[in-house]
Amino acid sequence: MKESTEESLALLCLFFTPGIGAVSQRRILEKAGSALSLLESPEKISLEGVPEKTLSSIRENSVLERAQKELRWLQEHDSRVISLLSPDYPPLMKTIHDPPAIMFCRG
């Protein structure tokens, strides 16, 4: 199942937000339930170790512009972004120590 365009854009915003690394991305997705929920209301997510200002920066124009550019590139190259919460996420990847919260795949 393919992620919606809105969720894909939100995942990319999360991926490109300065100060949010792989471990925090996973914790944020698990707490928010989706990247789109975070993008729509970052102030509703509270996460120990991640300042509110950092979470709010997911909505900055520079982050959104970069995410839109990358999403266009992914679409043009038959590629996509998936999250740990996606049914398309490889089941075995979930079993490794520190699985990536966001993956890029082709096809």
Specify the pLDDT at position 93.
93
What is the pLDDT averaged over residues 26-33?
A: 88
Compute the distance between CA of residue 50 and CA of residue 24 in angstroms, rounded to an integer: 7
Phi first, then psi, for residue 3 (nearest 5°) are -65, 150
Compute the distance between CA of residue 2 and CA of residue 13 in angstroms, rounded to an integer: 18
- Residue 80 in contact with residue 103, Cβ under 8 Å? no
At which residue do the structure tokens 């590629």 appear? 79
Mind listing the pLDDT tens digit for each residue in 43-54?
Answer: 777 777 787 888
Mean pLDDT computed over every residue of the chain: 89
Mind listing the pLDDT tens digit for each residue in 77-105?
Answer: 999 999 999 999 999 999 999 999 999 99
At which residue do the structure tokens 């550019």 appear? 69
